[in-house]
Structure 1
Amino acid sequence: MKLFYVLGFFLLLASCEEKPVEVQLPVANVSPGFNYVLDTVHINSGDDNIYLEMNLSMSDYSTKEGFLYNLKPENARVEMINMESLSLDSVINYKVNGPNSVKQYFPFGIKKTNFGDTFFKEYRVIHKLNSGGQKIDSYELINRELKGDRLPFDTEIDGLGEISPDGSYLASFYGNFKVGGSVLGIAKVNLSDKSLKLIPIDFWDKLKKYTITVNYDIGRRNSSPELKFLLLNGPDIILTTSASNELWYYDAESDSVIHKTFHSNITADQKSGKYRQDITDQGRYMYWVKRKNDEVVFGPLVKDHQAQRFYRYSRELDSSDPQKLHYVYVLTVFDEKLEQIHEQKLDNSIPIMGKYFEVKTFVHNGSIYSYLQKENELAFIRLKPNFDNE
C-alpha cells in the first residue's frame, strides 16, 4: 500500500503544477556589495527527447562531473546532461530484469557518487551498481536488515532520502507516515556496514500545524502539507522546511543537533498557521490552500561547494497594492557556518518556487540553476551571484 501512496504523491505533484511562465531575460541587478546576473539557458537534446514528466524530481546533479543524471523510472533509462556544454551527452539503459536489475518495485531516484558508483532508490530498497553497471549490493531499510539503533514500533524509514556524494551513507526521515502519524527525526544509514543511527528532532508538531485538510466523507480526505528538506554537508545533515525561516543542523562529530533561526527584512519569517480546519468542500479547500501558498514559502538550501556558501530562494505575495498583486522573490545567502550574510530581493517575477513543491535546483560553476517548465524542452533559470570583494 505504501508504494501506491508514494506513486499517488508523485502523480499529485505532476497534476498540480503551475503553468509555465516566460521570463524576461537577461538582466543584471546590483545592490551595495552584491550583484547578480539572471538569464535562461536551454539544453540541446538533438533528435532525442529528454524525460520531463516528473519535472526532474528523480534526477541527480554530480558536482564532480558537472553532469545532471535524469532518470526515466518506467524503463530505467538515464540521460546524462552536460551542464557545461548544455547538451544531452548520452543515454544509459540500465537493466530492469536479471541479476543487475535496478527495479524491484518502482525507482524513485538516482544518485551518482564521486567514485563512479550509482544508486537507484526505491521506497524501501536501494540498489548499488559499480562503475561497470554491475549490481554490487542492495539495502532494505528495515530493522532485520540493519544493525545499530532500532526503529520504534510502527515506524519506518522513508527510502526517498538523500545519499551522500561519496556514497557512504543515506539520510532520510523516519516515523509513522500514515494519516495522523508523526515524523520523529532523521535516520542515518551507514551504507558500508548497514548500520542505523536515529537522530530524534522535535520539529513535526510545529510543521503539521500548517497542514490544511479537507474531509469529504468518512475515509475520504485530502491535505496540503508543508514540505521538509534535507541537505547533506559532509557527514553532517541540515533539515529545513518550507514554512519557517529556521534550520536544524546535525553535527556528526559532536553527535548533537543545533537549532538556528533567521530573520528576513523582506518577507515574513513563518507562515501564519491561521487556516480553516473544518473544511468539507473542495472549493473551500482550494481557496484556503491558495491563501496559504500566497504566504511566505521557503525553498530548500543548495550548496556551492567551490565558494563554500549556501543559497535559498523564498517568495511571498505582495498585497500592498490590491490592483497589482505580485510575488516578491528573495535570494538568501549563508556562509560556510550557515550564518546569514545577505538577502536580495530579486527584481524579476521569476518562477523559482513551484506552487506545491520546489523545482530542481543546484549550483554549477558558481551559478544557481533552477528548472524552468517549458513544453517539450529542458530549460533552466540561471542566476550568477557575486560579491564585490571576489
Structure 2
Amino acid sequence: MKQLCVLVLLFMIASCEETPVEVQLAAANVSPEFNYVLDTVFIEAGEEQIYLEMDLNMSDYSAREGILYNLTPESGRVEVINMETLKLDSIINYKIQGPNSVKQYFPFGLKKTLFGNTYFKEYKVLHKLNSEGKKIDSYEFINRKLSGDRLPFDTEIDGLGEIADDGSYLASFYGNFKIGGNVLGIAKINLLDRSLKLIPIDFWDELKQYTVTVDYDIGKRNSSPELKFLLLNGPDIILSTSASNELWYYDAESGKVINKKYHSQITADKKSGKYREDITDQRLFMYWVKRKNDEVTFGPLLKDHKAQLFYRYSRELDKSDPQKPKYVYVLTVFDETLEQLNEYRLQDNIPIIGKYFEEKTFVHKGSIYSYLKRKNELAFIRLKPSIENE
C-alpha cells in the first residue's frame, strides 16, 4: 500500500502546474518523409460512468484484441472498452470476497494475457484467474515462496511490475525502497515454475542525481524523482528513464544487459543534474522542480506490435526567445532491434500530454493514444504517424 501511495504522489507531482490541452487538428506536414494526423477521440459509454479516478493507471491495453480493460480497484469492476469502435462494450464484475476474490489488500492493476487468463496485481501478491473468472493461482514475491536467486537482505520486489503478454513471467524492480535506499536492478519471476532471476543493473546512482528534495524539518522530506520505465519485449526486458537518452536491454537468450545510448539533434541527451540541494521551503522546492521539468524529458518506449516499431515522445523548453519560451516536442522512432531510425519535431502548437508522459499511452493500429483528462468523460489524443522509407 505504501508503494501505491508513493506512486500516486509521484503522479501528482509530475502533473502539477500544467493544464492538458485538447487538440483537434488536421493533418500536419513535418517533412517529406514524415506526416501525422492529430485529433481527439471520445469513448461512448451510454449511461455508464467510466472509472477515471486513477487516470487509467490501473488499466491494461490488449494489442491482440484492441481492447482496453479498465479496473475499479475498490469493487473489482472491469470496463471492457473497444478501441476500434470507441465504445464501452461491456462490464465484468470480479469477486472481491470468497475463493475467487481478486482483492487481498488493494488491487492496483490487471493484465489480460493472450490465452485469456487475467492477472490482478497487488503489492507483493498476484492473483491469476482463468477465462471463466475462476481463481486458479496466487503468487507472493518473497524468498520463501520462490526458487532460484535469493533477494538480498533488506530488499524487496516492487509490486508495480509488468506481466508478459503470454503470462509466462513478471518483471519488476528490486532493491531497498526506503528513503535513501537503492534500486539494484530488475527481478524476473517465472510464473510457471515460481523461479526468480535477479538482473543487476547499475543505473540508480546516476538517476538519483536528478532528484530535487526538500527537507521541511527533521524526518520530514518530499522529493521529485525522475521516472523509470519497464517495457517487456517477448522474453526480453527494456529499462529506460525520463532523465537520459538511453536504455538498458536485457537479452534473455544470452543473459546479458546491453546499454544503448542515443543522440538527439533536437534536444539535449540528458538532464543537467545541477539543482540546489539545501531546500527547506516549499515554494523554493516547486521553483527547482519547475526548472528541472523544463529540461529535456523522455517518455516511455511504446511498441507497435504490427509494424514492429518503437515510439517515444520527448520534450524540452526552448528558451531561444526569452520573451516567448515554448516547448519542443519530439517523436523518436526505433526499429525492432532498437536502433534509432529518426526523430521528428512536432509542430510547436501540438502539446503531448504530461510533463513526464505519465498518462496512459499505447499504440492501437499504428496510432499513438494518450489519455486526455476530462471531467466525467474518457478521451484520448490520437497521433497517427505516416513514415516513408528513406
Same fold at TM > 0.5:
yes
- What's the CA shift string for 1:180-233, capped at 9, x where partnerless? 000000000000000000000000001011001100001110000000000000
The answer as to whether partners of 1:331 and 1:343 remain within 8 angstroms in 2 is yes
Per the alignment, residue 191 of structure 1 pairs with 191
Q: Distance in 2 between matches of 1:349 and 1:302?
A: 23
| Superposition RMSD in Å | 1.4
The runs of 4+ residues in structure 1 deviating greater than 3 Å are: 14-18, 348-351
The answer as to whether partners of 2:309 and 2:333 remain within 8 angstroms in 1 is yes
What letter corresponds to residue 265 of structure 2 in structure 1?
Answer: N
Deviates more, 1:103-112 or 1:357-366: 357-366
The answer as to whether partners of 2:3 and 2:123 remain within 8 angstroms in 1 is no
Change (3 A) 1:349 1:71: farther
Q: Distance in 2 between matches of 1:245 and 1:141?
A: 31
Q: Distance in 2 between matches of 1:378 and 1:94?
A: 22
Q: Distance in 2 between matches of 1:357 and 1:300?
A: 7
Aligned pair 1:6/2:4, yes or no? Answer: yes
Q: Distance in 1 between matches of 2:157 and 2:127?
A: 16
Per the alignment, residue 74 of structure 2 pairs with 74
Deviation (angstroms), 1:124: 0.6
Per the alignment, residue 64 of structure 1 pairs with 64
Which TM-score applies when normalising by structure 1? 0.97
- Give the gaps of 5 or more residues in structure 2: none
Aligned pair 1:387/2:387, yes or no? Answer: yes
Q: Distance in 2 between matches of 1:67 and 1:348?
A: 32
Deviation (angstroms), 1:342: 1.0
Deviates more, 1:89-98 or 1:319-328: 319-328
Per the alignment, residue 370 of structure 2 pairs with 370
Change (3 A) 1:351 1:287: same
State how 1:78-93 maps to structure 2 within 5 Å.
78-93=78-93
Per the alignment, residue 209 of structure 1 pairs with 209
The answer as to whether partners of 2:297 and 2:355 remain within 8 angstroms in 1 is no
Deviation (angstroms), 1:386: 1.7
Q: Distance in 2 between matches of 1:349 and 1:110?
A: 35
Per the alignment, residue 358 of structure 1 pairs with 358
Q: Distance in 2 between matches of 1:195 and 1:184?
A: 18
The answer as to whether partners of 1:328 and 1:349 remain within 8 angstroms in 2 is no
- What's the CA shift string for 1:219-263, capped at 9, x where partnerless? 110000000000000000000000000000000000000000000
Q: Distance in 2 between matches of 1:99 and 1:166?
A: 24
State how 1:319-338 maps to structure 2 within 5 Å.
319-338=319-338
Q: Distance in 2 between matches of 1:52 and 1:348?
A: 29
Q: Distance in 2 between matches of 1:288 and 1:358?
A: 20
Per the alignment, residue 139 of structure 1 pairs with 139
The answer as to whether partners of 2:23 and 2:38 remain within 8 angstroms in 1 is no
Per the alignment, residue 232 of structure 1 pairs with 232
Deviates more, 1:149-158 or 1:376-385: 376-385
State how 1:1-390 maps to structure 2 within 5 Å.
3-11=1-9, 13-14=11-12, 16-17=15-16, 18-355=18-355, 358-389=358-389
Q: Distance in 2 between matches of 1:331 and 1:349?
A: 14
The answer as to whether partners of 1:299 and 1:353 remain within 8 angstroms in 2 is no
Q: Distance in 1 between matches of 2:26 and 2:353?
A: 19
The answer as to whether partners of 1:315 and 1:353 remain within 8 angstroms in 2 is no
The answer as to whether partners of 1:227 and 1:357 remain within 8 angstroms in 2 is no
Q: Distance in 1 between matches of 2:354 and 2:123?
A: 24
- What's the CA shift string for 1:28-84, capped at 9, x where partnerless? 223132222111111111111111111111110001100000111111111110000
The answer as to whether partners of 2:297 and 2:356 remain within 8 angstroms in 1 is no
The answer as to whether partners of 1:351 and 1:372 remain within 8 angstroms in 2 is no
What letter corresponds to residue 280 of structure 1 in structure 2?
Answer: T
Q: Distance in 2 between matches of 1:330 and 1:289?
A: 22
The answer as to whether partners of 2:30 and 2:345 remain within 8 angstroms in 1 is no
Q: Distance in 2 between matches of 1:319 and 1:389?
A: 33
Q: Distance in 2 between matches of 1:56 and 1:384?
A: 21
Helix, strand or coil for the counterpart of 2:373? strand
The answer as to whether partners of 2:125 and 2:159 remain within 8 angstroms in 1 is yes
Deviates more, 1:224-233 or 1:41-50: 41-50
Deviation (angstroms), 1:5: 4.5
Q: Distance in 2 between matches of 1:51 and 1:337?
A: 37
Helix, strand or coil for the counterpart of 2:291? helix
Deviates more, 1:200-209 or 1:370-379: 370-379
Helix, strand or coil for the counterpart of 2:39? strand
Q: Distance in 2 between matches of 1:338 and 1:355?
A: 24
Deviation (angstroms), 1:322: 1.5
The answer as to whether partners of 2:353 and 2:370 remain within 8 angstroms in 1 is no
Q: Distance in 2 between matches of 1:8 and 1:171?
A: 19
Q: Distance in 1 between matches of 2:195 and 2:357?
A: 31
Which TM-score applies when normalising by structure 2? 0.97
Deviation (angstroms), 1:351: 4.0
Helix, strand or coil for the counterpart of 1:9? helix
